[in-house]
Each structure stands twice: as C-alpha cells, then as structure tokens.
C-alpha cells in the first residue's frame, strides 16, 4: 500500500503500515491529506481542464481512506466523473496521483433514465437504467457484448453496491461518441454504464483496471451526508 507526503513541494509515494477500516482518522491526518490534495491539484493544473478542486478533494480523501484497507493497486490512479456537468462536456478525468498528471479527459454517457443532456436522478436499483454515484473499485477487464469492457464494484451501500449485479461496466459505445453531440446536442445514453467513445475506451480501461478508484460525483445532498467514505 502507498501513501503520499509532500517534501520540498514534491509529491512522494512511500510504503505505509497496515491500517484497516474507514474510521479513526485524526485531525492532523485530515490536515495532511488536505495539504497533499491541494499540492497535487495545483501541480497538475487540473482547474484548467475544468475539474473543481472541491470535487478532486473529495476523490482524494476517499482514495486515502480506501487505500488504508489495502485493496487498491499501487498504480494510484483516480478516475473522476463529474455528473454535475452536461454530457456534451468532457466530464471524465483520469489522474495519475504520483505524477500529478491528467492522463485522459473524455465525454462519458449516463443512464437513459438519469436524464438527457444533464444527469438528474440516480439509482442503485436493478433495471432502473440509471447511473449510480459514489466510489467504485475497478476489477478485471473482459470481452463482452459491448466489446472490451471493465467491471466495476460499488463500495457504497445503498448508493452503488449493486453495480456488479446490475452489470455496470465501462465500455465503448457509438452513442457516446462526440459526433452524436453535433446532431443531438448531448450524448446518447446507456442502461446506467459510464460508456465512453470507442476510440479511447480501450486505452482508458487498460490504464484504470485491476484495483483503481472511480469517483462518480453529483451534488446529491443525501449522498454527501450519508456516504461512509466521504464522512
């Protein structure tokens, strides 16, 4: 497992001792996490890509907590989906925390019953055809009916823990291509999967598979208050 520290304004990855659970974080640890998060964000110039520092902080704080459970890859890749943005904007960000670099930025589709241009409603229920918010861990890639795809395991009870049962995966789709925006004004929609343009889907999947974090954000008041990872 890796943790990060700031030394001479540089981000340093180092091995950490075992720690379990999402609880017992001291004020000093929170302050250190906030310092590191701000350092990565400013070094990466992620604001220029349209990513909010507030949302990045949530993602990094969640990563830090989940990382203590020793279930993550040592790649230290965070993928953020900002569902508060419309689907005609590049609202998926793949970030390498070690190098503080934005690796990929892309449009991404949401579920057909979540909204049209804007995502509005989210669900954890089977057959809802809606997107789910919260933290996920990536699993194995595979070839399926949508081509090369990536399984996602939801880590948040009541918000996305049915992701595996619902077969929510990252995959490429024609309706997620930016060319669709030119005709409709927004992307086509999925059955709840965060579908990507086919030309980049394999590259993204290869980079984030096997134990990396995805944070699907939306300013849902109930989620922000009830998430066991954010709180």
Q: Which among 104, 24, 91 is positioned nearest to 64, based on CA atoms?
A: 24
Q: For residues 15 and 1, is the Cβ–Cβ distance under 8 A?
A: yes
Q: pLDDT tens digit string along 42-79? A: 999 999 999 999 999 999 999 999 999 999 999 999 99
231 found inside a domain: no
Residue partners of 200: CB distance under 8 A and separation at least 6: 104, 106, 172
Q: How far apart are the C-alpha atoms of 67 and 42, rounded to whole Å?
A: 22
Number of domains in the chain: 1
In the chain, the DSSP E strands lie at: 2-7, 10-15, 77-82, 92-96, 101-106, 134-144, 147-154, 169-171, 213-217
Q: pLDDT tens digit string along 109-154? A: 999 999 999 999 999 999 999 999 999 999 999 999 999 999 999 9
183 found inside a domain: yes
Domain that holds residue 8: 2-226
Q: What is the CATH number of the domain that holds 49?
A: 2.40.440.10
Q: How far apart are the C-alpha atoms of 4 and 75, rounded to whole Å?
A: 13
Q: Which residue has the tokens 């040592």?
A: 74
120 found inside a domain: yes
Rg over alpha carbons for the chain, rounded to the nearest Å, is 17
């Amino acid at each position: 497992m890796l943790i990060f520290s700031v030394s001479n304004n540089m981000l340093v990855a180092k091995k950490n001792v075992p720690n379990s659970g999402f609880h017992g974080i001291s004020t000093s640890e929170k302050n250190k996490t906030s310092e590191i998060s701000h350092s990565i964000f400013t070094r990466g110039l992620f604001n220029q890509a349209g990513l909010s520092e507030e949302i990045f902080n949530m993602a990094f704080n969640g990563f830090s907590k989940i990382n203590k459970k020793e279930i993550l890859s040592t790649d230290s890749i965070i993928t953020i989906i900002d569902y508060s943005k419309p689907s005609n904007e590049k609202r998926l960000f793949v970030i390498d925390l070690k190098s503080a670099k934005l690796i990929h930025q892309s449009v991404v589709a949401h579920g057909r019953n979540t909204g049209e241009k804007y995502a509005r409603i989210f669900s954890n229920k089977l057959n809802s055809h809606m997107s789910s918010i919260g933290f996920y861990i990536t699993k194995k890639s595979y070839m399926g009916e949508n081509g090369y795809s990536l399984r996602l395991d939801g880590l948040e009870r009541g918000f996305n823990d049915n992701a595996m049962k619902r077969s929510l995966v990252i995959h490429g789709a024609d309706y997620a291509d930016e060319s669709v925006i030119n005709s409709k004004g927004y992307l086509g929609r999925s059955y709840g999967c965060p579908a990507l343009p086919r030309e980049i889907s394999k590259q993204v999947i290869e980079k984030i598979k096997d134990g990396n974090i995805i944070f699907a954000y939306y300013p849902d008041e109930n989620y922000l208050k009830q998430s066991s990872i954010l709180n």
